[in-house]
Structure 1
Amino acid sequence: MKNVTTNPRQQAFLALRAIQRGAFADEVVDRTLREGQLDDRDRRLFTELVYGATRRQRTLDAVIDQLASKPSDRQPEDLRLLLHLGLYQLRYLSQIPASAAVNTTVDLAKQNGFSGLSGFVNGVLRQYTRLSAGETDPLQLPTDPVARIGIKHSFPDWIVQVYLDQLSSDETEQLCAWFNQPPHIDLRVNPIKTSLETVEAALQAAGISVTRLPHLPQGLRLLTPPGSVQALPGFAEGWWMVQDASAQLVAHLVDPQPDEVVIDACAAPGGKTLHLAELMHDRGTVWACDRTPSRLKKLAQNRDRLGFQSIQIYTGDSRTQPQFQAIADRVLVDAPCSGLGTLHRHADARWRQTPESVEQLATLQTELLTAAADWVKPGGVLVYATCTLHPAENEAVIQTFLAQHESEWQLEPPAPTHPAAAFATPSGWVKVWSHQHDMDGFFMVRLKKH
């Protein structure tokens, strides 16, 4: 085997151990790739192993429960992670020969203090290999529909239930399967600096296949793995920034006009703030508010890269900013949320959220919406958006707000020609279901002040 610093499987094991102890998966992967000595092929394998084993841990635990004499939650934690690595390769990475997956995992067990249990690791993995050569899946699923989907696609039962409350069983499975795929990379072209056609041609000349995003006049999707995004044509020149198709709909729903005052109440890391400035032709004022200075730093960097003068950054909690009272033509509340529409982008997110955290978020969302509503002038517009698919954070927040302010606010559905109209519901709000539209899951609604 390779030595510790250049062995992608050993690095993946160390990363999984750090995640198990509370570190964020994205931060661990980024740090390892930045500080490690892996070549390109091993970087891809390391990333796939860490994100895949993290995402699929419930399914992998269920396999261990069925094959081992002791269930997964009674195995030593590091041994459980080693089994996850081996089983993930056997179950999901068809390009890796079964013998290689088994042998490298047994070697990892010996390297990491489990020499006495290397025979057990070998036995579990070889038993899985034998069973998988048959006609039936080695993983036996329960009959209960929630547990069956949860184990098959590796989601907590409570999230599966949230989806099942809104979708059929088949569609819930499609949605869960979609969230287990690698995320798309979408770009939003900056029309102040260049054109969609120019960026399209430059990327294709660099060997990157792209396609235009339907309904989005500035949107391109990369069809070729790009490697380093910063190395793509036009990055340094501020021609574009990375932003998912669903997120691009939000600023269009706000529909800011040149010379207006617009406030983004939860602005960091800034993709929607910058889009608002683009749509205003960089004329007027966009206040970018957030309480996290470190995340606003990224916004400032992108503002400077894209060359905007209209964006003013304000650090503070948007629930307590009376100086903005009734000064804004339009306000965006892109609220902190559980992220149940973007679970494919953060491998550990499904394990971090709980029903209790959703309750706390819904309270925060209501407070932010209520406070930001006071910033809007009469006749102005307020847009509320999240990247979750949980009704408690979406429809319920809006219904409560409108019930409490019915004399002052009314819901304004997107016009038939609007980019968001294709995703509008009969109730008037916009909801993007990922498995239906091949975009991040999103909710957004436009409110008009009397």
Structure 2
Amino acid sequence: MTELSPARRVALDILLELEETGAYARDALDASPDVHALERRDAGLAMRLVLGVVASYGCLDDLIDAYCDKPGRMNARIRNALRIATFELVYLGTEPRAAVSQGVELVRTRAKSAAGFANFVLRRIAENRAYYLEAGDVGEPEERRLVALARQGGLPIWLVEEMVRSRGFTAAQDAVAAELEPAGVSVHMNPLDEAAEEELSVLVGNVRDVEVEGAGAAPHASSGSIVQLPGAALGIPAARLVGTDPLRRGGVAVCDLNAQIIASAATMPGSCLEVGAGRGTKTFIMAAQAVRFGMTRDAIALELSKKKSRLNRRRLERAGLAGSVHCVTGDGCDLDRSLACIDERAGGRWLFECVFVDAPCSGTGTMRRHPEIPWRLLPEDVDETLPALQLALLSSAAERVKPGGQLVFATCSVLRQENEGVIESFLGSEAGRAFELAPVSSAPVFALPGFEDVMAYVREHEDARGMFQTIPALGAYDGHFCARLVRT
């Protein structure tokens, strides 16, 4: 009898826990004492299996069910054990004999009588995995190409169709190729914490004025594949960063490079309103950049969730960056009510030099970091619900921009409905008539020394109207969108 690896046993336990609790995979992995007790290599495999199965379970189930007479009657323990082995066979490239053997043993630990059934199903999957990935069962060529692309990324067909419609087949292909691969880790440095730089240098070498490789879906014209962003450090070994002192005390904040660029674009002297601050990662980056470049700011970070707003404030306080930021809990669609206390202290309705809307979105540019997204997302979310909310937030925020001020809108989506579509709807509305699109690359901060590379990089990823969009790809960072509007 084959000895079952501890990584697969732990992965199955966590997947069963996720099914019972509805928790997020990364949170469960971070909190699991069983994962932390594993050897580093086994811990890495357990994490890869859990995240991969969660990200692709719809495709895994389609394949498993093809070889079951009564798939609806399969219990969760057997199904999740089969999902792990199927993920290894189809997406991880595990040697078939080993994957089948380990899968059978995993099923045996939960239901001895099902071991023969598991052996049959997994052997059929091993024999037919290439046929499945190539969509050999689909007749029409164009449909086959689309279905094959979806299966190769473990994604719903409708979602890949939306990605192709939004960005074209080649860009969608790049994003799908990166979907099941680990995402790069980058951080933003707190300029008030010199010790953090020294501690981080143990992990990645000298991080001062770090040169960042592979920082986008396209090469950077002025320096090959290298772009520099003040305050950013990339190529951080994630396993070594978790639980470290710099992270705990706010010496660094983990954030994708493209998200750091967008937060930097929204940084300028004067008054700033951030709508949708969340846990405050971009709040941290804007405050850090303001300190780094000697800007005097008076910032409001607005967030609907009391818990997230509290976490934002605590991190800023630990980091020493809270002095110029006031965290407020409230609804971005009703700013008059949410900012009532602020307006009262200001002696009237406060207008801002910059309003930054970090809008809730589908997260389709960050699916490899958030594996739950693909199979929880619904077509009506991206066609109706999210664009309507995004437009409402943008329209509300527009009323708080001073004449000559900038309104910055951002998502981590790659879908046009949530990005260019929202901007077009806004500009065609009553609220949008007072605004004009301006290139993101012309944001005032990018004229400062040290941002020359970033400005060029942003220009490479702007469309003809100056809107910034990146697409995930192997060796690249996440998919983010940003539009900059100026009030006339």
Q: TM-score range by the shorter chain?
A: 0.7 to 0.9
Matches of 2:167 and 2:472, distance apart in 1: 12
Residues 1:105 and 2:133 aligned together: no
Instruction: Verify the 8 A CA contact 1:196 1:218 in the aligned structure 2.
Output: no
Q: CA offset at residue 24 of structure 1?
A: 2.4
Aligned position for 1:241: 253
Aligned position for 2:446: none
Of Structure 1 and Structure 2, which has the larger fraction of its residues in helix?
2
Instruction: Verify the 8 A CA contact 2:152 2:176 in the aligned structure 1.
Output: no
Q: CA offset at residue 83 of structure 1?
A: 1.1
Gaps of 5+ in 2: 216-226, 344-348, 443-451
Q: CA offset at residue 171 of structure 1?
A: 3.2
Residues 1:427 and 2:460 aligned together: no
SS of 1:341 mapped into structure 2 = coil
Instruction: Verify the 8 A CA contact 1:276 1:286 in the aligned structure 2.
Output: no
Shift in CA distance, 25/230, structure 1 to aligned 2, threshold 3 Å: closer
Deviates more, 1:319-328 or 1:193-202: 193-202
Q: CA offset at residue 279 of structure 1?
A: 2.7
Shift in CA distance, 182/20, structure 1 to aligned 2, threshold 3 Å: same
Residues 1:172 and 2:172 aligned together: yes
> Percentage identity across aligned positions?
27
Instruction: Verify the 8 A CA contact 1:277 1:283 in the aligned structure 2.
Output: no
Instruction: Verify the 8 A CA contact 2:166 2:414 in the aligned structure 1.
Output: no
Matches of 2:350 and 2:438, distance apart in 1: 20
Matches of 2:247 and 2:65, distance apart in 1: 48
Aligned position for 1:338: 362
Q: CA offset at residue 105 of structure 1?
A: 2.4
Residues 1:31 and 2:43 aligned together: no
Matches of 1:116 and 1:436, distance apart in 2: 42
Residues 1:365 and 2:387 aligned together: no
Report how many residues are paired: 438
SS of 1:379 mapped into structure 2 = strand
Shift in CA distance, 428/74, structure 1 to aligned 2, threshold 3 Å: farther
Matches of 2:99 and 2:356, distance apart in 1: 49
Aligned position for 2:233: 220
Matches of 1:137 and 1:363, distance apart in 2: 40
Aligned position for 1:115: 112
TM-score normalised to structure 2 length: 0.80
Shift in CA distance, 383/196, structure 1 to aligned 2, threshold 3 Å: farther
Counterpart AA for 1:15: I
Matches of 2:255 and 2:356, distance apart in 1: 17
Residues 1:386 and 2:383 aligned together: no
Matches of 1:367 and 1:342, distance apart in 2: 23
Instruction: Verify the 8 A CA contact 1:287 1:314 in the aligned structure 2.
Output: yes
Matches of 1:11 and 1:24, distance apart in 2: 16
Aligned position for 1:315: 329
Residues 1:328 and 2:366 aligned together: no
Aligned position for 1:126: 123
Matches of 1:183 and 1:88, distance apart in 2: 18
Q: CA offset at residue 435 of structure 1?
A: 2.6
Counterpart AA for 2:482: M
Shift in CA distance, 429/289, structure 1 to aligned 2, threshold 3 Å: same
Q: CA offset at residue 410 of structure 1?
A: 0.9
Matches of 1:291 and 1:20, distance apart in 2: 28
SS of 2:395 mapped into structure 1 = helix
Matches of 1:202 and 1:37, distance apart in 2: 24
SS of 2:409 mapped into structure 1 = strand
Aligned position for 1:439: 477
TM-score normalised to structure 1 length: 0.87
**Which deviations, in whole Å up to 9, do the C-alpha atoms of 1:269-314 show, x marking residues without a partner?**
1111122222322733111110112112321232123211111111
Q: Which has the higher contact order (CA 8 A, sep 6+)?
A: 2
Gaps of 5+ in 1: none
Matches of 1:255 and 1:444, distance apart in 2: 14
